């Protein structure tokens, strides 16, 4: 024995349209008139769904096109920032001081990692490998600040 086919989306729309047509049926209205109203409602629902899917496709195409354009042309603000570093000569002392502070912190962490000094923050002991990672990060920040200060000449 074969199972009956599940109702298709069109059948579901027609059933819903017929239910709606019956709910607004007026006294004295024939079954044929109700069926015609249900057909009109079903056509309206199908047309609405087609329009909505077409709008969704257009929105998706527009979104993809904009994304493609954004990837193709780099941000103009990023290009400006690369072309003209935003450092004034007045900022040079602050950049040098920051680079020096980060350099000293990198040196302290490097010494701690090499000499195996213990460090604790509250009740927690800090592993020595963290100082190695911190030394690299701080040295990078220090170098970047010194390079930025040098470019602001």
pLDDT higher than 60, residue 80: no
Mean pLDDT of the chain: 85
Question: How do 120-121 and 124-125 pair as beta strands?
Answer: antiparallel
pLDDT digits 0-9 by tens, 2-28:
566 666 667 888 898 889 888 888 899
Backbone φ and ψ of 25, nearest 5°: -65, 135
Single pTM value for the model: 0.43
pLDDT reported for residue 11? 85
How confident is the model over 93-111, as a mean pLDDT?
92
pLDDT reported for residue 58? 95
d(CA 136, CA 132): 6
pLDDT reported for residue 13? 87
Q: What is the 3-state secondary structure (H, E, C) of the chain?
A: CCCCCCCCHHHHHHHHHHHHHHHCCCCCCCHHHHHHHHHHHHHHHHHHHHHHHHHHHHHHHHHHHHHHHHHHCCCHHHHHHHHCCCCCHHHHHHHHHHHHHHHHHHHHHHHHHHHCCCCEECCEECCHHHHHHHHHHHHHHHHHHHHHHHHCC
pLDDT digits 0-9 by tens, 104-115:
999 999 999 889
């Amino acid at each position: 024995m074969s199972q009956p086919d599940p109702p298709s989306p069109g059948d579901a729309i027609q059933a819903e349209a017929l239910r709606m047509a019956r709910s607004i049926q007026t006294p004295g209205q024939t079954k044929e008139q109700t069926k015609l109203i249900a057909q009109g409602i079903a056509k309206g629902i199908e047309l609405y769904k087609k329009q909505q899917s077409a709008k969704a496709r257009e929105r998706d195409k527009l979104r993809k096109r904009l994304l493609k354009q954004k990837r193709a042309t780099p941000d103009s603000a990023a290009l400006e920032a690369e072309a003209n570093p935003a450092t004034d000569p007045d900022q040079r002392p602050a950049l040098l001081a920051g680079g020096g502070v980060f350099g000293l912190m990198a040196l302290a962490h490097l010494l701690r990692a090499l000499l195996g000094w213990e460090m604790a923050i509250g009740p927690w002991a800090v592993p020595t490998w963290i100082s190695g990672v911190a030394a690299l990060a701080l040295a990078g920040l220090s170098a970047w600040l010194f390079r930025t200060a040098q470019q602001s000449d």
